[in-house]
Amino acid sequence: MGAPARTSNHPYHHDTIGSMKDLNAASLADVKRWFADHYGAANTTLVIAGDIAPALAKEKARAYFGDIPAGPPVARQQPWVAARDKSTRGEMVDQVAQVRIYREWNVPQNGDAELPLLDLAASVLGSGKTSRLYERLVYKDRIADAVSVDIEGFALASMFQLQVDVKDGIDPARVEKIVDAEWQRFLKDGPTQDEIDRARTRAHAAFVRGVEKVSNQARMLAEGQVYRNDPLAYKQDLAMLDAATRATVLAAAKKWIGKGDYTLTVKPGTPDPAKDEAEAAGLAAAPGKPMPVLPPTYEYKTVKSAIDRGHGTPQVAQFPELKFPALQRGKLKNGIEVVLAERHEIPVVQAKLLFAGGYAADRGRKLGSASFTAAMIAEGTKDMNALELERRTDRIGMNWSSGCDLDNCAASLNALKSQLAPSLALWADVVRHPAFRNEDIARLRGLWLAGIAQEKTDPTQLALRTLPPLLYGKDHAYGIPFTGSGTEASIKALSDADLRAFAADNIRPDNARIVVAGDTTLADIIPALDRVFGDWTAPKSALKKNDLPIVLAPAKPRVYVMDRPGSQQSVIIAGIVAPSTMAPNNMQINTMDNAFGGLFTSRLNMNLREDKHWAYGAFTFSQNARGQRPFMLYAPVQTDKTAESMAEMLRESQGLVGDQPLTAAEIGKVKASDVRALPGEFESARAVLSSLQNIVVYQRPDDYVQTLKARIEAQQDSAVNAAAKEVVKPHALTWVVVGDRKQIEKSIRDLKISEIQVLDADGNVVH
């Protein structure tokens, strides 16, 4: 959206990645000189976090880093907010589905005492359904599809940012007028005490959840040291958060976000880079003079090291045992199965109610029924609307969500242990007693249709909407857009009766299982769940199950082109139907997938990115499924290299199952990577809960995770290559290419892979 300051000499004046002109002009010598000037040891912060004693950490740091030269002194830039006094604005066009309004104020840097106060102001103004702007623009007036207000913090200055997605057909000026009115009301009266308390509770709960992961702990310490010369600076932020009052938040808001904004309106259309660059160059310069650049004050001494760096990086010969809790099982009074994994690192309990069905249950219904029903569950119960529901969750620091994937729908809970009882009660109420009010359906329908429109502006989402019906056929339960959002026609036709019917058939206790991970025990959680779910009875109607017939590979390849005029690149996706996630050789299939296109060093990526430089990345991926899953090759590439990239993807596929099978080294690299990643895979209760879900859904043994290392290492190269031949069928690939048809169609035809058919954005053949 732009930098905090538009003065030509401010360090934040330009985009972080730079301009193509500068990047193309940079020489190898320039890059080396930058590295030598800035990557000295004395300009480095090293954080070691995790299961290691401080003495050992210091010893290892000294041994491996202590002899590295300090490097040249690097002067430190000082804070320079460059706040503006006047309001300015600009306009641009881009390939977006609807008008989007950005508004930005330059505010103080990380560590400033007023930044936590502004964080609270941002939360009250635009974080969540009960924020001032969301409630007014989206919920009440229904003239916007999304609203957010947040702060992007940096070392020299920060950005206080508003973003509004304007509902199609609404005058953006009307939206801006209401934003201004709400903004001025906030600046006049300030936040209420309830708003402050709820925002503060959300912030504390987010901190507790965040510090569970070692990576977050390390990042927090590093940012404190690098930006504020204090690794424990987060404690100051928490203290300032606790000390905030209505008056202090209002004073900070008046000072920093009462004037001096820059508004950017982005409209749908074909972008003109030259015009946008000129617009950016013409922005009003921020007043003020830069703060001085201070020289470094550190003293740095190297120490001798016995490490022999001539042999490359240290060899890792031993790996810690994977720590994963033993699963415990129980049942509620009504028969709902409960699976628990205890994790007592932080006082948080996470749970998921799993309902078989998912997008696949849309078969025979209006497409999008599953996801829309799950989303409507969040819109309130019979006794409270969505806003009151949100307020209650905020007050107890509860997070919850509902949604679907291909085979399941789920309602997820993340509760502070101290608030577990009220959180469970609220969670059960929304799942068991959804309101499905017509006014809420109408409001969500508008948001949903805007989301589908946005999917159709994104080449990758567009291809994922289109490819599954081609792979499975439109009569198959999986022959639907894999976004799960349905179509415009189906969503417009959905009624409250449709949603109630879907819920009656799928959101029911005889179709439910509960997985739990966190700071609780089976003896505690079963009675707690029984109190809110134990008396839930199933309807008299029979439980329906999805029929997933076997799909055969097509006899020959197919090629489809989707026209996106003016696109700067082409997105290539080639797919085929592969065995289920429940297949006996699922691990070998995944290993093959990673070696062929799943890792950065995989064949596809090394070819198209590292060797040819035609793509930023080229990969393979698949989606978990109880039935046959899709296996896809994916590459966003330069427009002028579209056909050549397809040819390379086809050649690599043919070699994989032909005269260039995966080597022992390629397979060994994936196995080693998978084993070495295991100790860090399950450091959060959320990751543990995800594994529990997979164990339950895909009928895996309870010790599945604990035995992963041995099973990964035991894979035979021959079995991995056999999996490649079972999955990858070059002669049967279905290709979908999204790009500028005028520039790519002829060269694709010249490949003679197949006759080309042109599809519209709904997947219909138009040529």
Model pLDDT, residue 277: 55
* CA torsion angle 409 597 714 695 (round to 10): 0
Model pLDDT, residue 281: 47
- Binning pLDDT at 50, 70 and 90, where does residue 3 land? very low
Place of tokens 């504390």: 204
pLDDT tens sequence across 122-138: 999 999 999 999 999 99
pLDDT tens sequence across 646-705: 999 999 999 999 999 999 999 999 999 999 889 888 888 999 999 999 999 999 999 999
- Is 490 within 8 Å of 366 (Cβ atoms)? yes
Candidates 176, 30, 168; CA nearest to 103 is 176
The answer, yes or no, to whether residue 186 has pLDDT greater than 60, is yes
Place of tokens 């070699």: 655
DSSP 524-565: HHHHHHHHHHTT----SSPPP-------PPPSS-EEEEEE-T
Q: Computed over its alpha carbons, how large is the radius of gyration of the chain?
A: 28
pLDDT tens sequence across 539-561: 988 898 888 999 999 999 999 99
Please state the pTM of the whole predicted model: 0.87
CA neighbours closer than 13 Å in the CB half-sphere of residue 333? 11
For residue 151, which amino acid is it?
I
Model pLDDT, residue 255: 97
Model pLDDT, residue 196: 96
Model pLDDT, residue 298: 63
The three-point CA angle 388-393-396 to 5° equals: 130
Phi, psi values for residue 335, rounded to 5°: 95, -5
41: tokens are 């040891």
3-state secondary structure 366-411: CCCHHHHHHHHHCCEECCCEHHHHHHHHHHCCCEEEEEECCCEEEE
Distance CA 303, CA 326 (A): 46
Average pLDDT of 593-610?
96
Place of tokens 């409630």: 135
Q: Which domains does the chain have, with CATH numbers?
A: 88-281 (3.30.830.10), 328-533 (3.30.830.10), 558-672+717-759 (3.30.830.10)
Candidates 640, 459, 636, 488; CA nearest to 95 is 459
The answer, yes or no, to whether residue 70 has pLDDT greater than 90, is no
How many other C-beta atoms are found inside a 10 Å radius of the C-beta of residue 680?
Answer: 13
How many other C-beta atoms are found inside a 10 Å radius of the C-beta of residue 100?
Answer: 21
Distance CA 378, CA 371 (A): 12
CA neighbours closer than 13 Å in the CB half-sphere of residue 18? 7
- What is the total residue count of the chain? 767
User: Long-range contacts for 229-233 (Cβ within 8 Å, ≥24 apart)?
Assistant: 231/47, 233/111
DSSP H or E run through 761: none
Average pLDDT of 456-462?
85
CA 740 from chain centre, in angstroms, equals: 28
Candidates 394, 396, 402, 403; CA nearest to 423 is 396
- Is 738 within 8 Å of 574 (Cβ atoms)? no
How many other C-beta atoms are found inside a 10 Å radius of the C-beta of residue 92?
Answer: 16
3-state secondary structure 222-244: HHHHHHHCCCCHHHHHHHHHHHC
Average pLDDT of 79-92?
91
Q: What is the DSSP letter of 497?
A: H
Distance CA 356, CA 444 (A): 24
Distance CA 49, CA 111 (A): 22
Distance CA 440, CA 434 (A): 11
Candidates 227, 231, 247; CA nearest to 120 is 247
Model pLDDT, residue 2: 43
DSSP H or E run through 316: none
Which of these ranges, 155-159, 289-293, 622-626, has the smallest mean pLDDT? 289-293
Phi, psi values for residue 122, rounded to 5°: -60, -40
Q: Mean pLDDT over all residues of the chain?
A: 91
Phi, psi values for residue 713, rounded to 5°: -70, -25
Candidates 188, 211, 191, 212; CA nearest to 200 is 191
The answer, yes or no, to whether residue 270 has pLDDT greater than 80, is no
Model pLDDT, residue 289: 60
